[in-house]
Amino acid sequence: MRRVCLLTVLPFLLGACGGANPSTGASPTAAPGEAWVNVVPGQATSSPAARRGGSYPPALPPVSFLPTSSACAIPWQIDVGQVLIPLVVTPGAGSLKVEWPARYGKVYRVAAVPQEIVSGAQPEPKWQTVTTGSGCSGSATIGGLTPGAAYVVWLDAPDTPRGPDNSRSLYSGRSGIVKPK
């Protein structure tokens, strides 16, 4: 008897909660500022659109940042077991200006490695030692380069992490091919 009673009262309870009457498709009146979505079987239903009036204050106060080098904003590449520090290289007249994020200590070395084909033993890179300041980036200019010749810039950071066998790569960052003007 209780089951029958509950089943006969259930539609009236649902109707009292504000549901739509499926036989007529009618829905109760929406409260001010609320949007209702009418669902009719066999017909497409539009997405509700939020409608807001008036103006609202900004969610957060305005923020200003201190000026930084372009090297501080570039993303890092991390290969398994090797730190690759990103470089920004700007060609100049017979020179290359190099910028990088200074995250691993204050002493770095840079070299412009020529990409011309050489028979026999390859010449050793000519490293230039650079001490960075207290900022987030380091920079150096490598001069005395052949205009139009192809180079790859290597950056060495002696304080980068070492591998499990205590070894380090010859460089901690490298550029693509660049050509001085």
What is the total count of domains within the chain? 1
Assigned domain for 169 exists:
yes
Domain membership of residue 100 as a residue range: 70-178
Q: What is the pLDDT of residue 74?
A: 60
3-state SS of the chain? CHHHHHHHHHHHHHHHCCCCECCCCECCCCCCCCCCCCCCCCCCCCCCCCCCCCCCCCCCCCCCCCCCCHHHCCCCEEECCEEECCCEEEEECCEEEEEEECCCCCEEEEEEEECCCCCCCCCCCCCEEEECCCCCEEEEEECCCCCCCCEEEEEECCCCCCCCCCCCCCCCEEEEEECCC
pTM over 0.75: no
Identify which has the larger pLDDT, 20 or 139: 139
Q: What is the pLDDT of residue 40?
A: 81
Assigned domain for 37 exists:
no
Q: What is the pLDDT of residue 59?
A: 56
Instruction: Work out the pLDDT band at 8, boundaries 50, 70, 90.
Output: low
Assigned domain for 49 exists:
no
Identify which has the larger pLDDT, 181 or 135: 181
**Mean pLDDT, to the nearest integer, of 1-18?**
52
Assigned domain for 89 exists:
yes
Q: What is the pLDDT of residue 43?
A: 80
Assigned domain for 80 exists:
yes
Assigned domain for 35 exists:
no
Assigned domain for 53 exists:
no
Identify which has the larger pLDDT, 126 or 55: 126
Instruction: Work out the pLDDT band at 66, boundaries 50, 70, 90.
Output: very low
Q: What is the pLDDT of residue 102?
A: 85
Report the CATH number at residue 87: 2.60.40.10
Assigned domain for 55 exists:
no
